[in-house]
Homo-oligomer: A and B are copies of this chain.
Amino acid sequence: MTTDHKNVELSHVNQHGEANMVDVTEKSLTSRTATAEGFIKMTPQTLALIHHGDNKKGDVFAVARIAGIQAAKKCSDLIPLCHPLMLTKVKVDFEVDEHLNQIKVSSLCRLTGQTGVEMEALTAVSVACLTLFDMCKAADPGMEIFGIKVLSKEGGKSGSWQAKSKGA
């Protein structure tokens, strides 16, 4: 089931416009999964530096993967109104597109809990992109990070949600 979210209220701000952490105490524990993606664009020369045919520079991706996984675990420390939660799985993957000179970063987060994990998935993608930027910035300070969005959410009262195939 895919639902369109049409809430006309912001759950994270109360009627006085003040920041509001949503109370999830009464929500039931359900298995929840979210996936997200993001991209980083660089010059062909820079991409070649980290993506040889023989993949010698594999540590670049290993470092970015670890950074993304660690960041997902820190999400509630970074995003003020996120609830602390106990992720049972975080996955970060990379796909090099040599035609478009960009790298796709995708993530999956999962837990059995009272609240969704799309912010964790987005945080993993964002920090993995930032880490790729950091590792390549001496060669190419003009890189750009883009296309960060949620791809899908499953679990919880509102059921499944899928991003439409063409963007925001």
Within 8 A of B (CB), among A111-168: 111-112, 114, 118-119, 122-123, 126-127, 129-131, 133-150, 153, 161, 163-164, 167-168
Which residues of chain A (55-111) have a CB below 8 Å from chain B? 56-63, 65-67, 69-71, 73-74, 76-91, 110-111
Q: Is the CB of B10 within 8 A of A136?
A: yes
A118–B138 CA distance with the chains assembled, in angstroms: 11
Question: Once the chains bind, are B112 and A25 in contact (CB under 8 Å)?
Answer: yes
Is the Cβ of B89 less than 8 Å from the Cβ of A23? Answer: yes
Pick the most buried of A5, A59, A163: most chain B CB atoms within 10 A of its CB: A59
Which range holds the interface residue count of chain A? Answer: 35 or more
**Is A53 located at the chain interface by the 8 A CB criterion?**
no
Residues in chain A within 8 A of chain B (CB atoms)? 5-13, 17-25, 27, 31, 38, 41-42, 45, 49-50, 56-63, 65-67, 69-71, 73-74, 76-91, 110-112, 114, 118-119, 122-123, 126-127, 129-131, 133-150, 153, 161, 163-164, 167-168
A-B contact pairs, 7 of them (CB 8 A): A20-B91, A62-B62, A70-B77, A74-B77, A79-B131, A84-B86, A146-B148
Q: A19-B65, A82-B134, A122-B145 are in contact. List 11 more A-B contacts (CB 8 A).
A: A12-B134, A12-B136, A18-B65, A21-B91, A23-B110, A67-B79, A69-B81, A86-B86, A118-B137, A143-B149, A144-B149
